[in-house]
């Protein structure tokens, strides 16, 4: 339900590109996600939402996996903070 994914969904919708939205529920507002799909459907744009749920333990395993294997990319607006530091 972040701004970046909302902007991407809107752009794809305006271009009429069918697409799917995937999220692993953590702090996402499910109502915002549902509204986003409704907005696209009202414009006859094929879009689907796939919502996954992980246990806390599984989420931490996935976080560790990514931290060990993902390339660290420094955020330009948050000194000392990178993609692998993100709590999402």
- 10 Å CB burial of residue 13 (0-12, 13-18, 19+) is buried
Handedness of CA 35, 41, 43, 45 (dihedral sign): positive
- pLDDT digit string, tens, across residues 37-70: 888 888 787 777 777 777 888 888 888 888 888 8
* CA distances (Å), origin 3, targets 18, 31, 80, 86: 20, 15, 22, 15
26 vs 48 pLDDT, higher one: 48
Q: What pLDDT was estimated at residue 2? A: 64
What is the reported pTM?
0.49
Asked if 76 contacts 86 with a C-beta cutoff of 8 angstroms, the reply is no
* CA distances (Å), origin 46, targets 10, 23, 41, 66, 86: 12, 17, 6, 31, 31
């Amino acid at each position: 339900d972040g701004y970046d994914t909302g902007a991407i969904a809107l752009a794809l919708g305006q271009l009429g590109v069918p697409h799917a939205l995937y999220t692993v529920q953590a702090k996402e507002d499910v109502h915002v996600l549902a509204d986003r799909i409704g907005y696209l459907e009202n414009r006859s744009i094929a879009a689907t939402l796939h919502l996954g749920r992980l246990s806390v333990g599984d989420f931490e395993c996935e976080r560790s996996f990514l931290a060990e294997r993902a390339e660290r990319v420094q955020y330009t607006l948050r000194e000392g903070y990178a993609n692998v530091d993100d709590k999402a």
